[in-house]
Amino acid sequence: MTSRLATLPDALVTLGGERITTSDQWVQTRRPEIVQLFLESVYGKEPVQRPDSLTFSTEAKAAMKGAATCKKVDITFKGPGGVGTIHLLIYFPTQVLKPVPLFLLMDIRGSEKADPEQNTSSESWPAEIIVSKGYAAAIFQVSDLDPDNDDGFQNGVHGIFDSTAEPRPANAWATMSAWAWGASRVMDYLETDSDIDAKRVAVVGHSRGGKAALWAGAADERFAMVVSNNSGCSGAALARGKIGEKLANINTRFPHWFNGNYKQYNDKEDELPIDQHMLLGLVAPRLLYVTSASEDSWADPESEFLSVMLAEPIFHLFEAQGLGVQQFPQPDSPLHGDKIGYHLRTGKHNLVSYDWERFIEFADRNMR
Ligand code: GTR
C-alpha cells in the first residue's frame, strides 16, 4: 500500500479494535458499523424506509415489435409535505420463461432516452440488447425523487418527508441518499411482480447515478448485483490519494449530493472515518461490477481499481476470490472474477453499449 493511503481505515477492524476474520463477524458487527458510518458522515439518514402510503399502479402494452411487453409502473408515496411518484418503465422479453432477471438503470439523463421506441440508438440504455439477452430492462429518473439542484432540500422527497420544525441536521439525508431510497422503493415494487425474479436484480448507475447505485446496492441487500459505471469521486474511487475530482470540488459544485457532515472533510480526506473500498465491501457476498474509462482522469481509474482491490478481503470472508488479479488492466481487457467484475474501457466518461455488453456477460455467468 502506498504511503498516501497510510490513514486508510481497515475495513476488517471494528471501531473497538477487534479484527474480523469470519463472515458472521462481518455480518453481525462490522457491516452494521460501516453502514452507520456512511449514514452519519456521507449520505445522511432517511426519515422513513418503505412508507405505509406506498402504492403501485401499472399499465402494460406490446413494445419492440412484439419482442417485449412494456409496463409503466407508477410508484406513489405520501408524506407530511405532499405526494411523489416514481415513473418506472420496464421492458420484459416476451420469448423467455418468467420470472426473468432484471437490470435497473437509475437514470440521470432525462426521460426522452427512456423510451426505446423513440430512441433506438440510446447507447446509455440499450433496452433492446438487454431484452434480447433474456433480461428485463427497467429505468427510472432519479429526478423523480429529487431534482438535481441545490434548493435547500425544499422539493422532492426531502420536501415530502422532512420535518420542518427544526434546522436541518448535519446528518440529514441528501440527494444521493434520496436517489438510492428511490431504487429501494422500485425494489419494493419488483418484489410484487411475478414476471420478475426479484432475487436477480442488478442496479446500475453512471457517474452521479453510479455513486447513487453503489449506495443503493450497498445499503439494500435485496439487490443481487451492483454496477458502478465511471462513478469516481465519492463513488468507487478512494477519497484518499485520489487525483482529479476531490471532496472539496464535489462538495462545492454539488453541495446537495451529500450530507452536511461530509463537508467537514474537504481537504481533510485523511480524517474520514471511512473510505470507498468499504462501500464496495458492503456489497459482499453479492455481485459487484465497477468500470472506468481510460480518458476519465477526473474520476481517476486507478483509484477506482485500487478501491476494488481493497474491497476484496471482505469478499474473501465469504470464500469468494474476487478479481484474483493485482495489476491494473489494459484498456478493453475486462476482468470477470469470482463475484467481482472490473473493466477499463477505452474512451471518455460515458455509459455505452460496450459497458452494457460486459455487464450482461458477467450477469450471464453469475446471476443466472
Ligand atoms: C461531474 C462530477 C462527477 C460526476 C459527473 C456526472 O461533473 O464532478 O462527480 O458525477 O459530473 O455525474 O456526470
Contact 169/135 with Cβ under 8 angstroms? no
> ω into residue 273 within 30 of 0, thus cis?
no
* Mean pLDDT over the full length of the chain: 95
Residue ID of nearest Cα to ligand 1 atom 13? 207
Pick from 36, 29, 35, 37: nearest CA to 13: 29
Question: Which of these is catalytic: 23, 177, 184, 207?
Answer: 207
Backbone angles phi, psi at 244, to 5 degrees: 75, -130
* Domain 34-366 annotated CATH 3.40.50.1820: yes
Backbone angles phi, psi at 308, to 5 degrees: -60, -45
Residue 328: exposure state from Cβ atoms within 10 A (0-12, 13-18, ≥19): middle
184 is catalytic: no
Query: E-strand spans in the chain?
Result: 55-63, 68-79, 82-93, 100-107, 136-141, 196-206, 225-229, 287-293, 335-336, 340-345
Q: How far apart, in whole angstroms, are the C-alpha atoms of residue 200 and residue 101?
A: 5
Q: How far apart, in whole angstroms, are the C-alpha atoms of residue 294 and residue 304?
A: 12
How large a percentage of the chain has pLDDT more than 70? 96
Atom of ligand 1 nearest to the CA of 349: 13
- pLDDT category, 59, cuts 50, 70, 90? very high
Pick from 164, 148, 155: nearest CA to 256: 148
- pLDDT category, 109, cuts 50, 70, 90? confident
pLDDT of 2 over the 80 cut: no
Residue ID of nearest Cα to ligand 1 atom 10? 208
pLDDT digits (tens, 9 = 90+) for 201-246: 999 999 999 999 999 999 999 999 999 999 999 999 999 999 999 9
pLDDT, position 1? 47
Q: How far apart, in whole angstroms, are the C-alpha atoms of residue 319 and residue 64?
A: 42
CA of 176 to the centre of ligand 1 (A): 12
Least confident of 118-132, 237-251, 276-290: 118-132
pLDDT digits (tens, 9 = 90+) for 193-202: 999 999 999 9
Domain boundaries of the chain, sorted by first residue: 34-366
316 is catalytic: no
pLDDT, position 111? 54
Q: What is the mean pLDDT of residues 119-123?
A: 67
How large a percentage of the chain has pLDDT more than 90? 91
Backbone angles phi, psi at 217, to 5 degrees: -75, -30
pLDDT, position 123? 87
pLDDT, position 323? 95
Whole-model pTM: value is: 0.97
CA of 262 to the centre of ligand 1 (A): 17
pLDDT, position 152? 94
Which of 175, 208, 230 to probe ligand 1 with, by most ligand atoms within 8 A of CB?
208
Strands 136-141 and 100-107: parallel
